[in-house]
Structure 1
Amino acid sequence: MRTERIFIPTRSAPDSLCWCGDTLVDWVAGGRSYALDGRITESSVLYSYRFDSAVMSQDGQYAVLYEKLGTKGLLLHRGRVLRELNRSFYHADTYEYPVALVTLPSGRTLLAHCPEEYCELELEDAETGERLTRRDSESPDFFHSRLQFSRDGRYLLSAGWIWHPVDAAQVFDVARALEQPRSLDEPKEMELGDSFVEIHSAAFGERDTLVFECSGLEGEEIAHPDGQPKGSVGLAVYSLTERRVLSVAPLEKPAGTLMVVGGYAVGFYEHPKLFELTTGRILEQWPEFHTGCQGSSIIHHLPPSPPFALDPAGHRFAVATDKGIEVVRILTE
């Protein structure tokens, strides 16, 4: 395994970063784009609001600007405003705004967010705004956050929290949700053993796997599938189809936000670190890149993190600095 680095000089620090093919787009700055060869395409658009983050669909057609600790979002199609988005005020200044986009194999783009209640997850047609998951069932008391679709659009992950507060995660079957909207109020149960496991961050891995950083409450040790304790904080790989933990590795350092690349994961707590999933060992790290201290959806007490963009399909990530954008690609073969 080896890594490659590219530096893209910029006149000012980007406000946000999203991958669109081999280009990085700063939607908060109006859609300014940065090609990997250093070409910069300016934008004349100014959004007169305090948006500080953005997500983008895989096909590059749709983007959402939002304020991480606010209630307002803005949905764009090819840079054109489609409509404003909102979420509940309830603790909105405490945890990260829940929103994600995915383009299905059919070509339809779905928007996942919580337009009515903090605990009520909805799927919409991004283009038309049609609510596809209307239902009359009661939603469980869960603060949805850090929404993420699996690469194939099969699953939707919510890495949020429940009241005390305790970090937790829920996973939903997207096709089932479109056919049976009530299933969004019935998340897939994960078999994690008898003791309660707090899930601090999570990301989809290869095939049907979910990778997450977890800990036992009050320092309780996390159990490994072979029955042996593996420490109080671990990096776990879970099979969604087999409904079992495949491995748990102890962590020497917090992982934070995760990006999975084959048998490895990059964690972005403080600075990017490349972890081996089966052992939790740090194989490489980039301490010169500051990426903040987010280890939960609850971030009201933290200074803002510099923008960084993840591209697990391309095995690369980008980090904004004062002087430009650093791109790191991980070569696993």
Structure 2
Amino acid sequence: MSTPACGHAEPVAGRFCSHLMADDDAEHHVRFTGQGTEHDLLCADCADAGASAETLRTVCATCMRERLGRVFDSLGVIGGPEVLSRPTALRFEHREHTLPALAGTSLLALAPFVQQSRPSWLVVDASGGLLRIDLEGGALIRLGTLSAEDVQLSAPLALHVSPCGRFAAVVNVTGRRGVVMALASGAVTMRLDRGGYHEEHCVFSVAFFRDGSRTRVVHATAWNRLDVSDPATGELLTPRDLPPRERDKPAPPHYLDYFHCGLTVSPDGAWLVDDGWVWQPVGVLRSFSLRRWLHENVWESEDGPSLKELRACGYFWDAPRCFVGERILAAWGFGVDEEQMVDAVMLYDVESGKLLRWFAGPPRGALAFDGRFLFASAKGHGTSVWDLETGERLHQAPELLPTAWHPAARCFLTVLGDGVLRESRLLA
């Protein structure tokens, strides 16, 4: 292994122009070579002049990551990475279901029952009805009704179902309110309120997870505070007192200057990913241990030892993301600024906080993982299938833009309207 010019005993990960090597404060362009994801970092003068190989110096992954992570030092992107593809026999099989009871009504939110292998779904209809749909049997069961006190039906909704299948949370996506409901009775067991401070810029923070045999719900209770509660009773499980920050005085211990946004829980319920932002604004993708938070340190979500910052991006948060392993998160977008993001998927280890690798190509849209392949669904692109190991695109279905993904049944569902729903499954 040759030692990079930066002098660190790590493999070469890229190149800087000599001016960046000499000036730690210089701003940079990212220039792709067109060979895979290979890229150089160039100062403004070298980018204008077209830096030659003689003026470039090799650097390690640590140096490259540190420089790329400087949100306000990026001047732009030159060229683009190579998108790899491989022909396969993969294809999607579609099956349509007509439910006359849904004709004439719109579906405001939809989510899978993830504990069932059959394609069972929950939906919220235009009247506020919470319904369960079993496509195999064609059954439509009303579980409860949402009122104006619960959520604003005229604003976008999000629906979340607990892993045990006993609870659902319905929230206004960029509003301040929501509820948790017991599906067996349709009763509201918790009312959620995250406050009214810039909530319009943040996806509502709520997610269910399993802590041993118990189901828990993590939810925002203020712009900069998350809590965990028992969804059956509403009991608060992370009580802590934090005095407000006073003007012109140092922040109190554990004070968090961070807007919580969309949450993603690891498959085993051990880790939480929060795609929020801080003033500038800069999106900051964070992860921390749910186990430590509940059982060891009530301040874990503020400044605990397991807390890691995976990346920072100017004006960019609540990006597409999903877990592709117990500890590996796939997050869309290469770059450090919303206007300079490159179509790509970044793979992070949420425990160490390290970027493992990345590949180019997946467009900005919903991400899903079936245990083998990564799916990317985006308007104008349809749904593409990607090999996580090689970063190759294996198939693209331009006509498939699904509404939701069922991880247990491994199928997409598309709401076609007038009571017609379409399942789509990947076949070899």
From the superposition, tell whether residues 160 and 242 of structure 1 become closer, same or farther in structure 2 (CA, over 3 Å): closer
* In the alignment, structure 1 residue 311 sits paired with structure 2 residue 392: no
1:104 to 198, 206, 211: 211
Q: Which residue is equivalent to 2:167?
A: 62
Tell me the equivalent position of 1:228: none
Work out the CA distance in 1 between the residues paired with 2:323 and 2:356: 14
Indicate the residue corresponding to 1:297 in structure 2. Answer: none
Q: Which residue of 2 aligns with 1:329?
A: 425
2:378 and 2:279 mapped to 1: Cα distance? 24
Distance 1:286 1:220 in 2: 27
Whether 2:111 is the aligned partner of 1:26: answer: no
After TM superposition, give the deviation of residue 84 of structure 1 in Å. Answer: 1.6
Q: 1:113 aligns with which of 198, 216, 219?
A: 219
Deviation per residue, 1:216-235 (Å, 9 max, x gap): 235999xxxxxxxxx94421
Provide the TM-score with structure 2 as the length reference: 0.63
- 1:191–1:18 Cα change, 3 Å: closer
The 3 A distance-change label for structure 1 pair 257 and 80 is same
Counterpart position of 1:225: none
Paired residue type of 2:350: L
* Alignment partner of 1:93 is 2:192: no
CA distance, structure 1, for counterparts of residue 140 and residue 409 of structure 2: 22
Structure 1 pair 24–174 and aligned structure 2 pair: CA distance change class (3 A): same
Q: CA deviation at 1:46?
A: 3.8
Task: Report which of the two structures shows the higher radius of gyration computed on alpha carbons.
Answer: 2
Question: Where does the alignment leave 5 or more consecutive residues of structure 2 unmatched?
Answer: 1-89, 243-252
Report the alpha carbon displacement of residue 273 of structure 1 after superposing the two structures with TM.
Answer: 2.9
CA distance in 1, matches of 2:394, 2:282: 30
Question: Relative to structure 2, which stretch is displaced further, 144-153 or 312-321?
Answer: 312-321
Residue 134 of structure 1 pairs with residue 233 of structure 2: no
Distance 1:83 1:243 in 2: 33
CA RMSD of aligned residues (A): 2.9
Q: Tell me the equivalent position of 1:248.
A: 358
Following superposition, the deviation at residue 149 of structure 1 comes to 1.4
Point out where structure 1 has 5 or more consecutive residues left out of the alignment: 222-230, 292-307
Is 1:15 the counterpart of 2:121? The answer is no
Structure 1 71/219 Cα, relative in aligned 2: closer, same or farther at 3 Å? closer
Give a deviation string over 1:106-144, Cα, whole Å, max 9, x none. Answer: 1x11111111x2111111111121221222453422222
In the alignment, the residues of structure 1 paired with residue 309 and residue 275 of structure 2 have an alpha-carbon distance, to the nearest angstrom, of 13
How much has 1:57 moved relative to structure 2?
0.5
Seen in structure 2, the aligned counterparts of structure 1 residues 168 and 320 have a Cα distance that, compared at 3 Å, is farther
Rounded Cα–Cα distance in structure 2 between residues aligned with 1:139 and 1:259: 34
- Distance between the aligned counterparts of 1:328 and 1:163, measured in 2? 41
Partners of 1:250 and 1:279 within 8 A in 2: no
Partner of 2:77: none
**1:155 Cα deviation from its structure 2 partner:** 0.8
Partner of 1:301: none
Residue in 1 aligned with 2:63? none
Structure 1 or 2: more strand by fraction: 2
Q: Is the 8 A contact 2:182 2:188 kept in 1?
A: yes
Distance 1:317 1:236 in 2: 23
- What is residue 302 of structure 1 aligned with on the other side? none
CA shift for structure 1 position 330: 3.4
More helix by share: 2
Number of residue pairs matched?
Answer: 302
Matched, 1:204 2:323: yes
Distance 1:213 1:149 in 2: 17
Q: Does the CA contact (< 8 Å) of 2:159 and 2:171 recur in 1? A: yes
Identical counterparts, % of pairs: 24
Report the residue type matching 2:359 in the other structure: A
User: Is the alpha carbon distance of 1:287 and 1:91 closer, same or farther for their aligned partners in structure 2, counting shifts above 3 Å?
Assistant: farther
Shift of 1:41: 1.5
What TM-score, normalized to structure 1? 0.79
Task: Give CA-to-partner distance per residue, 1:299-320, whole Å, 9 cap, x none.
Answer: xxxxxxxxx3333344333232
Task: Work out the CA distance in 1 between the residues paired with 2:129 and 2:235.
Answer: 26
Counterpart check, 1:188 vs 2:307: yes
Alignment partner, residue 386 of structure 2: 275
